[in-house]
Structure 1
């Protein structure tokens, strides 16, 4: 019987796992009965002729009696049959869990008054403690953080239609004006948001850099965008699209120091810079971006590793989505997140730039 080829594509400057290394990592996942690895591969037992998902609770086989495959079809082609206990050809327990939470989220979105944890548990017919753990494990955020983000979305939608901020606040589920100002993360005062952000001013500067062109934009709170590209006009257009109602003014001289610091970060990744940031995103995006800032230069993490670090091993796709939505290139180093096999994957500013950044960081780490 022949196992599937586990070799991965080669990416210059990125270490790739040899087949033996990949099998060793898969073996460790089987030993841990890792549900997070379900769907990544399956394993087959030579003595029984059965193949299983990594989290299968069956008695563990010896390492030398086991073979790994990329998917059930490859295992069946090699002559193995599916396990009747873990049913590797159907939806995994993890997928059932994701579906259950997805249905609960849809119910939350349909409710007029956002429910608390007890009400959610009663609707899901689960204990509050178990629901809280299941919800966070699946989405990476707590039910309270999810409903808070939904309340904010309702506020943002309502501010443009309501006759007053107070009316929009109560309609969105805020119980008082003080709660609104303490909890709403709009990036500006609610009244300014209701007016389309017209009272907000964003200054920006553009300059050549080793990666092409870089734009650095700053609000009254701090740097709110770092964009990479080849065309200065396109970068400015991207900024205006992100802040359509704000007054975006190019002031190269005023932002000279901040711009120079960002360019220095490209040339000297380990130097580090301390600049005030105005990071706007959902509760989960904020958590992902904070995790990315903890990855040292010269090192990488897989999307799954980032999800696990957030105690949300099932939220791999959500982590990838947060990386794609990152508005602060370099300062929030989403380029340090790669695929599990060591290959590069999507980078909103281009895979070539991602490769250049990782190669620079790896070279500087080796020289340190």
Structure 2
């Protein structure tokens, strides 16, 4: 079993102790005292002397081990690559699946943004790849400075049919204009669903790309914004300039 990042058992054990989400699916950890095999990120704390490493789930099962009920290593996991970049409104985190952008968030601290990413996607392999996402990260820097610009970025937002309808409607709002939750509800043919629309706006996974900052209260006042009302105010001011 060879891997350039986890080339030996010492490296694999270090990854297991760190609960490294990037190691999920690269190798499996067998705990022979309990008879289970786990992901490197499993919350269990076995002793090193009781652990063996396996390249595949099949190898672990062939050794007589069963899947851990805590970390569920038998579940197929997608890979999300992620990176962060400094913008004029703080840090932006970008996470991408093979199909496109899955998450874009704003914040002030890398560890907090990463923890949010891992919490949202509990069953994904989370791999840092700022170099591979360089074009996406640069696009986010440009978009924060020019939220009226529409970069050609593939999107892979996942949600309910109502959420996806709301997010699509948000992307149709022209820069420099604002709408209410009721306006969006009517635009998607659900005029009485303004509360559900508000919840969908709050669940928006793609900050700035899906411009939920363009939604305001019916009286024109700023409503909430997951990434901070000051950021919302700044984005709207830039679009109005």
Q: Same fold (TM over 0.5)?
A: yes
Structure-2 residue corresponding to 1:237: 115
CA pair 195-221 structure 1, distance change in 2 beyond 3 A: farther
Structure 1: where are the runs of 5+ without partners? 1-193, 364-368
Q: Name which of 181, 196, 199 aligns with 1:303.
A: 181
Counterpart mapping for 1:305-320 below 5 A: 305-320=183-198
Question: Structure 2: how far apart are the matches of 1:271 and 1:325?
Answer: 23
Determine whether 1:357 maps to 2:241: no
Give the match for residue 226 of structure 1: 104
The question of 1:255 aligning with 2:133 is answered yes
CA separation of 1:300 and 1:205: change in aligned 2, threshold 3 A: same
What is aligned with 1:334? 212
* Counterpart residue number, 1:207: 85
8 Å Cα contact 1:196/1:245 also seen in 2: no
**TM-fit CA distance, 1:196:** 7.3
Let me know the Cα RMSD of the aligned residues.
Answer: 1.4
- Offset, 1:328: 0.6
TM-score (norm 2): 0.68
Task: Give the drift of 1:245.
Answer: 2.1
Runs of 5+ consecutive residues of structure 2 not aligned to the other structure: 1-71
Q: Whose strand proportion is higher, 1 or 2?
A: 2
Deviation at 1:269, TM superposition (A): 2.1
TM-score by length of 1: 0.45
Q: Measure, in 2, the Cα distance between the counterparts of 1:198 and 1:207.
A: 30
Which structure features the higher share of helix residues?
A: 1
Q: What are the superposed Cα offsets for residues 214-244 of structure 1, whole Å, 9 maximum, x if unpaired?
A: 0000001100000100111100110011111
Displacement of 1:341 = 0.5
Tell me the SS of whatever aligns to 1:249: strand
Once residues 196 and 358 of structure 1 are traced to their aligned partners in structure 2, the CA distance between those partners, rounded to angstroms, is 46
- In structure 1, distance between residues paired with 2:132 and 2:170: 29
CA distance in 2, matches of 1:258, 1:319: 28
Distance 1:196 1:350 in 2: 39
Q: 1:271 deviation in Å?
A: 2.5
Given that 1:302 and 1:338 are in contact with CA atoms closer than 8 Å, whether structure 2 keeps it comes out as yes
